[in-house]
Amino acid sequence: MYKGKSFDAWYIEKGQEVYIQIALHHNKTVVSLKTEDFLKFKDELKCKRSGKITSIRSTNKATELLFKKNNLAIKLPTKKFKAFKKEVLNLELNNIRQFIDFEEDNLETFEPFRIVNPQKTFKDLVLPEKTIEELNSALSQVKNHDLIFNKWGLNKQHRVGKAVSLNFIGQPGLGKTLAAEVIAKELNKKLYIVDYSTLIDSYIGETGKNIRYVFYKAAKDNAVLFFDEADSIISSRTFVMDSTDSLLNMDKNILLKELELFEGVIIFSTNLSPNLDKAFERRISAHVLFEQPTQEQREKIYQILLDKKTPLAKDVDFKVLSELYDFTGGDVKRVILNAARHAASSSRKEITMKDFISAAELIKKSKESLWTMEDPKINKKSVNYIG
């Protein structure tokens, strides 16, 4: 739904026809026009003359529009008509969304996302300097939005595609979700984490409605929108073999449409996939690669994820642990928690190096088992754990 200064606009579908609904703020009148009639109406306004759609009568004080097919007359004071005309001429069809009464559909109780009040800052991120620079660059775009689009005038030429949209690429456990939380914290916004699987509905059209809803809520609440594990929804559209393929492509088209009209901050988390939809790639402000942490970075992650109260034995050496195990940040978190549980269950007051080694070996064996189940021919020594 388009919300403007002079009017609101949305589209509805009636059978095979699409109608544009225009609700004027001045007198609450609603005009309904077929898409092609709406375009003709714009031409008639531009040329300041009557046509097939309207009859235009102007005086010094007011302008009257008579919509012939609707048999509806609208009279606007000259100043308000000029504002209305300018806004109609600037309104493109792709700015007009379908009207869905989410509250009436009880989607407010559905909440297909997890709300996070961000606490993490850049101090909690252990990433290469280049990655940090890319994240700061994205933040700069958001903070300078008013300068770029309003004061510099780019809003007139770029009415869509104004979102800061990021694609975080990398295996799970490398800090993509944490980085999204840091960005939300820096912007003083909430983070809405969406798992695409929760949006899927077996009823025709409901998945698309759910997609529209999360964008609607993020825009309404001024939140950062984060699509976790988004590979399936942003991969290339498939050749239609059956109704399932057709519906999946339709849902992807809805996502692309919403992404184009969204004006906030949206982040996608994806794996290293060469199969991204080209239309999706064109709508992304920046692709940020999250790489496997180095030995020094792993050592720092261990230290960050511990508290001052955590009792460590003198023999604990995180440098040795970081050298022995090529883990992600997510793996390190599990090692710490498993080591603490092992020490607590043994009624010891300290976490020893032996506890950390036992926990690390458990994670190592579990990752090898997971990959062996997928492909027994894989060389276990050459793979990284997907946590």
SS3 130: helix
pLDDT value for 387: 26
Query: Do residues 320 and 377 make contact, with C-beta atoms less than 8 angstroms apart?
Result: no
129 within some domain: yes
Residue 323 neighbours by CB under 8 Å, 6+ apart: 295
Same domain for 299 and 273: no
Domain that holds residue 374: 295-382
CA quadruple 149, 184, 276, 159: dihedral, nearest 10? -20
Same domain for 149 and 205: yes
Beta bridge partners of 77: 62
CA quadruple 21, 23, 28, 33: dihedral, nearest 10? -40
Same domain for 206 and 82: no
Q: What is the pLDDT along the chain (387 residues), one digit of tens a residue?
A: 778 889 888 887 776 677 888 989 888 888 988 888 888 999 899 888 889 999 998 888 899 999 988 888 899 999 999 999 999 998 877 667 766 666 555 555 557 788 999 999 999 999 988 889 989 888 888 888 777 777 777 766 665 567 788 999 988 889 999 999 999 999 999 999 998 777 776 455 677 788 888 888 888 889 999 998 887 777 654 444 444 445 567 778 888 888 887 888 999 998 866 667 787 888 888 889 899 999 999 999 999 999 999 999 999 999 999 999 999 999 999 999 999 999 999 888 899 999 999 999 999 888 776 655 555 444 444 333 322
362 within some domain: yes
Same domain for 314 and 269: no
Residue at which a domain ends, from 289, 306, 330: 289
pLDDT value for 306: 93
Same domain for 317 and 183: no
54 within some domain: yes
Residue at which a domain ends, from 42, 66, 95: 95
Dist. CA 368–CA 357, nearest whole Å: 16
101 within some domain: no
Same domain for 153 and 19: no
pLDDT value for 371: 56
180 within some domain: yes
Same domain for 167 and 24: no
pLDDT value for 159: 56
Same domain for 157 and 252: yes
100 within some domain: no
Residue at which a domain ends, from 65, 95, 125: 95
220 within some domain: yes
Output the domain CATH number for residue 300: 1.10.8.60
Dist. CA 189–CA 185, nearest whole Å: 6
pTM: 0.68
151 within some domain: yes
C-alpha distances out from residue 44 to 35, 96, 141, 278, Å: 14, 20, 38, 37
Same domain for 255 and 276: yes
Query: Do residues 21 and 12 make contact, with C-beta atoms less than 8 angstroms apart?
Result: yes
Same domain for 62 and 173: no
C-alpha distances out from residue 261 to 96, 153, 164, Å: 9, 18, 11
Output the domain CATH number for residue 208: 3.40.50.300
pLDDT value for 98: 67
Same domain for 187 and 307: no
Same domain for 316 and 359: yes
State how many domains the chain has: 3
